[in-house]
Structure formats: structure tokens, C-alpha cells
Amino acid sequence: MDMFIKVLFLVVFFAIMIGVGVYCRRQTTDVNGFVLGNRSVGPWLTAFAFGTSYFSAVIFVGYAGQFGWRFGLASTWIGLGNAFIGSLLAWNVLGRRTRVMTQHLDSATMPDFFAKRYNSKALKIAASVIIFIFLIPYTASLYNGLSRLFEMAFGIPYTYCVVAMAVLTGIYVVLGGYMATAINDFIQGIIMLVGIVAVIAAVLQVNGGLTETIAKLSQQTVTTASGTEFQGAYTSFFGPDIFALIGVVILTSLGTWGLPQMVQKFYAIKSEKSISTGTIVSTVFAIIVAGGCYFLGGFGRLFGEMGADGKPVGGYDSVIPKMLEQLSPILIGIVVILVLSASMSTLSSLVLTSSSVLTIDFIDPVFCRKEKMAEKRKVLWMRVFIVFFIIVSALIAIIQASSPVMFISQMMGVSWGALAGAFLAPFMYGLYMKRVPKIAVWINFALGIGISIASFICNMSGIKFDNAVLEYFKSPINAGMLAMLVGIVLTPIITLIVPAKDNDRVNNIFACYYKKVTVSSKKSIDEDETEDTSSLVKKTVKSGNSKKTKNKTKRK
């Protein structure tokens, strides 16, 4: 009976996901429809697509397990950073400007944005190669986290879990493109919200409720570098290692600003309302899901057994599955669907991003120079690359599972650091600063990839540094943070040194922010209004920021 309940949950879930893919087929006849849903995705779908692409099995199993073990309840700060920096601030800083400029440039991908914003086809090709290479280990980490829970709940071998997840995700993404992904993300997001609340309540009840669980966790002792025993470190405000905690918060929060699969959600925004609603909804979603995951992971030491090296027996990736083993069959079924939802939503976003980038930004400009590829042919190639990308990442996940070299959070840290380090600064400054030169983008690409690969090599070879600073940045997490911060600081400096070029072309690009649009008085206050306020008053404002009064017009 217990197994029947779990299987029933899965069957219903898979049927809905595939059904949505079939339903959305009619909107995938061209590139704009397949990749961006014809830029007509509403506020709730956009917000949930952003949130579910952000949080996956890597967060729930890998990051929550590792950082909950290391920082205790202070790891909740990571979830709050994800909500307020990675969601709220990202929407406010990037959302509107990304939507306006990418439509003006007729850009559907991040590499295409770099090509048209900085007038360089070489940047387009380089960015597409970086995305394709570094999204693969990110995707492989999704399979890893989900499959560990499947083994715990169903006793199904890891390989079969990976194959099943790959096939099912491929079906609905290939059929329905971005719109199917967005609708399924909304459904999966609802499941994630309900599931995380139910799981936290059940896990706390195992130890007698919130107060008793915190009391037991406070008895855990950590020894500091100076040899002092820190009692209650895992229930303290900033945990036992505040500097390591800051690195994780910055990478996982600010990093989303440079991830192509996250930024692309802003391309598909339908209207001004979608931005304001999406900002609120995605932030609340992140507080509940990310905050809940890391809060739950903070109690990991009460469930996992510590080895001689201070790490959990079975590795960090085993912490959350062991925590959930004591739950009822129904709750385990909910957990499996929760993590399945988180993983498939992120996986679908990653494979769609990678396939569109490879087709639009690499195959078309490199191999179709004389004659541009037809729309239907592009969509066909995207579908082929979705299948290819899923197969490659699944094979890597299967091979990696038998190797103790790297656990989930390390795989994601390398990918996230390289992508965000390479793209964050040139993309963000490209939306705001006219004078950013092409060379600054190349330097960001080189630094982002170089720092992340150097960290990866040091960890793989087991190199240890006597210098505390070098040892700190050897971590993939801290290396990714360094790559982003260096780019953010260095790009304006390069901009001041390098002479401005193509002023007319750049001014034409930024003219999109000064286009006049008409809005009602609810959106913009008319300071000179003297007539009856009950009538609908319309006025024009800058499209770059429609909440501020920029230009007054006569009322009709």
C-alpha cells in the first residue's frame, strides 16, 4: 500500500507534465514561440519560472545538506540572500531594462545580446561555447540529487532514475518549448511551496517540535581554529564560520544575475504588470522555498553521523535523504514529488537555454553564413540539441555517481562561478552604461572561466596553500564569488581607461529607454492635474522606468 501511494503520486505528476507539453505544441512553430513563448508570459508564470529555475535538487539535497551541516541554522541566511538579492534586487535592477533592450535589439539569448550590444559576432560564439560547456556539469548535478532520493524512497537503482528523469523532461520540453516549461514550472512551484512547509513540520516533530529540536542542536560543539570550543555554534546568529557563509550567500544570490537561464526569464515578460507582480511573487517564493530548504538543512547534524574528518558519513549529499527516512510514506511521496518538481523545472530551463544558444548563436552564424537558417529548421535543431544535451549530462551524472571525487555542491559551484563570473558584469553594465568597451567583456570572460578552472584544478589535484587567502579562494564557492566581484569592480575601471567608440550606434541602442509610452494616472502622478480626478488621465513616460513621471502631455 505504501509503495502504491508513492507510485500513484509519480504517475499523476508525469501525466500532467506531458499533457502540458502536448497542449503547448501549437506555440512552438518559430524561434520566438519556442524560446520565449512569443514574449507573452504573464506575471505569475514568469515569477514561478524564475523561482523554480533558481531552486532545484541541488539546493534541497546538495547545498542544504552541505551548508546546513557546516553553518547550522545560520545557513538560513543563504535562503534569505537568495530571496532579497537573487530575486527582489535582480527583478528591480535587471527586469525592466532587460525586457526593453532585448526586444529593441531583437535578441532571444544572452550571447545574441552580447553580439548586438557590443557589435561582435566573436563574443556571441564565445559566449555560446561557454554556456554549453558549463551548463553540462550543472545539469548533471540535478540528476544526482534527485536520484539519491529515488533510491531512498523506491529502492530503484541510480541509473534507472537518471534515465527516467531525462526522458520525461525531454518529452515535454521538446513538445512545448518555453510555454510548456513555464506552465509546468507554475504547477511544480505550487508543489514545492506546499511540500517544503509540510516536510519542515514533519522533520521538526521527529525531535519533539521546534524548541526541542533547537535545544538538541545547541548541544553540538565545534572547535575553532585557535582551539577554543564553541558551544551552541550551530544555533548562533552567523554560525561557526561567518566568512565562508558570506561567500556562499554572494555566489548563490548575486550569481543569478549572470546565469543565462535565469536572465532569459526577463526576456519573455509580457507587460509592466508582469514586472511588479513577478517581483513580489518570486521574492515570496524564494523566502519560503530557499529559506525553508536551508533552515531544514540546519538540523542535519541531528540526523547524520559524523565521521573522523568532521564530515557526515556517506558525504554531504546523504544528509537530507537520511533526515527524510523517518517520515511516513505519504510525506516521502510528497518529498519525492517536491524534489522532482524542483529538478525537472531547472533541468527544462537549462536544456532549453543550452539548445537555443547552440542553435541561434553557434550553428547559425558559423555554419550558415551565406543563407540564414529558416525558422522551422532552427526549431528542429533546438529539439535535436535538447535531446543531445540531456543525454550528455545524464551520462556524466551516471559516471560521476561512481566517483567520490566531487559532490553535488562542488559541481554546481564550478558551473555557477564560471557562468556568473564571465557574464554578470558585462550584462548588467551593458544595460546601464553606454561606454562599456568590447575588451571589458573579453576580460570578464577570461577571468570568470580562468578563476573557476584554476579552483577546479587545485581541488582535483589536492593542492594546499600555506597562504590563508589562497586557501580560502581555492573553494569553488569562494572562487565563483571572487570572479563575480572582480568583474563588477574591474569593468567600470576599464570603461574609464578605454576611449569610447561607436557612439552613434550605442546611442541608438539606449534610445529604447527613452521611447514614450502611455500609462494611466495609477502608474504616474500628474502634478498639474486640476480637473476631476475620477476621469481616466493618460500621460507618456520613459519606457525605461514607467513608474516615474518623465514627460507630461495634454489630457484628451
**Are 202 and 168 contained in the same domain?**
yes
Whether this prediction's pTM lies above 0.85 is answered by no
Residues 338 and 447 in one domain: yes
Give a yes or no: residue 307 inside a domain: yes
Q: Which three cell numbers stand for residue 164?
A: 527516467
Encode pLDDT of 331-361 as tens digits: 777 777 777 777 777 777 777 777 777 777 7
Indicate the average pLDDT of the chain: 78
Look at the chain and report how many structural domains it folds into. Answer: 2
pLDDT tens digits for range 3-31: 676 677 777 877 887 887 777 777 666 76
| Domain identity same for 224 and 249 | yes
Q: What is the CATH number of the domain that holds 15?
A: 1.20.1730.10
Same domain, 540 and 497: no
Whether residue 541 is found in the same domain as residue 470: no
Kindly give the interhelix angle for 329-358 and 43-54, rounded to the nearest 10 degrees: 100
pLDDT of residue 89: 93
Of 487, 506, 525, which marks where a domain is finished?
506
Identify whether 26 is part of a domain: no
Tell me if 27 is assigned to some domain.
no
- Domain end among 483, 506, 529: 506
The reply to whether 32 falls in a domain is no
Residue 537 lies in a domain: yes
When pLDDT is averaged across residues 390-402 and rounded to a whole number, the result is 75
Q: Are residues 295 and 350 in the same domain?
A: yes
One domain, residues 130 and 223: yes
Does residue 204 sit in the same domain as residue 277?
A: yes
| Assigned domain for 67 exists | yes
113/125 Cα distance (integer angstroms): 12
Query: Is pLDDT at 287 greater than 90 in this prediction?
Result: yes
- Report how far residue 490's alpha carbon sits from residue 485's, in angstroms, rounded to the nearest whole number: 8
- Secondary structure of 331-353 in the HEC alphabet? HHHHHHHHHHHHHHHHHHHHHHH
pLDDT > 80? residue 434:
yes
Residue 210 lies in a domain: yes
Per mean pLDDT, which range of 179-188, 278-287, 401-410 is the poorest?
A: 401-410
Grid coordinates of 349: 530551463
Average pLDDT score over residue span 105-120: 88
The CA distance from 250 to 450, in Å, is 19
**Residue-level pLDDT at 543:** 59
Q: Other C-beta atoms within 10 Å of 208: how many?
A: 11
Q: What are phi and psi of 240, to 5 degrees?
A: -80, -15
The pLDDT of 407-421, averaged and rounded, is: 74
Domain end residue (candidates: 472, 488, 506): 506
What lies within 8 Å, CB to CB, of 14 at 6+ separation is 168
Q: Do 502 and 520 lie in a common domain?
A: no
Residue 314 lies in a domain: yes
195 and 288 share a domain?
yes
Q: Which domain holds residue 547?
A: 516-556
Same domain (yes/no): 537, 457: no
Task: Identify whether residues 414 and 554 lie together within a single domain.
Answer: no
